[in-house]
Amino acid sequence: MFFENVDFSALELPPPALKLREEVRAFLRAEVAAGSFAPRLGHAEFDAEFTRRIAARGWIGMTWPKRYGGRERPYLERFVVTEEMLAAAAPCAAHWAADRQTGPSLLRHGSDHLKEKYLPAIARGECYFALGMSEPGSGSDLASVRTRAEQVGGGWRVTGQKVWTSWAHRAHAFFVLCRTSPDSGDRHQGLSQLVVELKSPGVTVRPIPFMDGRHSFNEVFLDNVFVPDEMVVGEIGQGWKQVTSELALERSGPERYMTTFPLLVELIRRLGAAPDARAQEVVGKLTARLWALRRMSLGIAVALDPGADSENGATRTSIDLGTEAALVKDMGTFYEREIIDAARLLVEVEPAAATLDRLERYLAETVVCAPISTIRGGTTQVLRTLIARRLLGPVK
């Protein structure tokens, strides 16, 4: 029923991954000691300098082929780097979308031109991507996008509006899901993916401030923007299939259950060596639930690793862990909130954004961002509908 072919018993990190973990930890300790970044929760921080420093270590695009700037490392090692960054609340927003989504999509579907143009620059930490999916009229119902691309000589003219586009004001380019032929009844047909450079004429980026005043969301207007043919990702008309084909890794990564983890560490610090029985039980339970989610996430990452002989570094397609991956996101996003409530209820603390007390600040940062995790990348309700469909099959 689940994980039929995954050997959790044998799942342990090989020596190179353990060595890598120590390197990442040492690097992050030195960064924090040097004051190069301030750990923050909630909104991921965009720090191009930090991104370039970790790129120099080979930690961006690390599973990609060497000819595109990658290191051809196993997924497991990327998993280790990702979870260490999250544990340290490191500022990874600049490379996040490109490392996790854009790069793998380009590897699988992109032309040689696109791969050569973007992947090495992403891996050097010099090129940042945003994702142009949602629109004012298309939230959960992504296939209803209305941004249109009309074919013209040598390319496409794109008109429409994207929304909730994180870091579009800092990124160089974004993936745009748009309609390239009219809705013919099958709404999943006629969609395509284009790479649009954000400095192109006709592109306007406007901030959408978050409720705490911070700026990462944007709306992006596309007014008759010319996009040359070579910027088409994969095949015209296959956009839906391309967007949904690589969701397993995206949904099951440590970022789905670890974004409030540093708050748990601060809670443990505040509780001290011998807290009361209630606190012990809550901390023990949170530890167990994190351990279990992590094993699940790790099992998926390793099972999807295509192995060293892979052509393009894309996930192994012979193993379908789509349901299990969606379940990691569903449970992980709720787990993150359990940490918030434990911190609130076990110690006397009030959320305060501008304070030197780290527990108070982390609490403030996580409380205001708590609603986002169960909305972005597919709401809980849509995700569960999808999971149920996979469990039930077609019910007639």
Partner 1 sequence: MTTLNDVRLMLVESATRLFADHVDDKLLAAAKRDGWSASLWQELERAELPLVSIPEDAGGAGGTLSDAAAVLRLAGRYTAPVPLAETGTLAAWMLAASGIALPRGALTAGPVRDADRVAARHHSGRWELSGTLARVPWARIASRLVLLADAPDGAIVACVDPVRCRITPGANLAGEPRDDVMLERVAAETAAPAGRGVDRETLKLRGALARSLMMAGALERALELSVQYAQQRAQFGRKIGQFQAIQQELARFGGETAVAVAAALSAAGVLERGGDALLAVASAKIRTADAAREGALIAHQVHGAIGVTNEYALHHATLRLWAWREEFGNEAQWAMRLGARTQQHGPDPFWSDLTAA
Whichever of 283 and 368 has its CB closer to partner 1, that residue is 283
Instruction: Work out whether 225 is an interface residue with partner 1 (CB under 8 A).
Output: no
Six-digit token string for 103: 């790069």
The distance of closest approach from Cβ of residue 24 to partner 1 in the complex, given in angstroms and rounded to an integer, is 11
Stretch 63-102: interaction string toward partner 1, x if CB under 8 A: --------------------x---x---------------
Rounded-to-integer distance, Cα 204 and Cα 137, Å:
18
Assign residue 379 a region: left if phi > 0, alpha if psi is -120 to 50, beta otherwise? beta
**Helices (H), ranges, 347-379:** 358-373
291 is a site residue for partner 1 (CB under 8 A)? yes
Residue type, 113: H
The stretch near partner 1 (CB under 8 A) out of 11-19, 27-35, 136-144, 347-355 is: 11-19
In angstroms, what is the minimal distance from the CB of 183 to partner 1?
Answer: 24
**Judged by CB under 8 A, which of 98, 227, 279, 340 binds partner 1?**
279
Name which of 126 and 338 has its Cβ closer to partner 1.
Answer: 338
> Which residues in the 22-51 window bind partner 1 by CB under 8 A?
25
- In sequence order, what are the residues at sequence separation of 6 or more whose Cβ sits closer than 8 angstroms to the Cβ of residue 146? 135, 137, 138, 160, 179
Cα distances from 352 to residues 356, 357, 363, in angstroms, run: 9, 9, 7
Q: Exposure pattern of 205-229 as b/e (b: 16+ CB <10 Å)? A: beeeeeeeebebbbbbbbeebbbee
- Asked whether position 317 contacts partner 1 by CB under 8 A, the answer is no
Residue partners of 358: CB distance under 8 A and separation at least 6: 266
Distance CA 316, CA 383 (A): 22
Among 266, 336, 360, 365, binds partner 1 (CB under 8 A): 266
Tell which one of 281, 341, 350, 357 touches partner 1 (CB under 8 A). Answer: 281
Binding site for partner 1 (CB under 8 A): 1-3, 5-13, 18, 21, 25, 83, 87, 261, 264-266, 268-269, 271-275, 277, 279-285, 287-296, 299, 302-303, 319, 323-324, 327, 330-331, 381, 383-385, 387-389, 391-393, 395-396
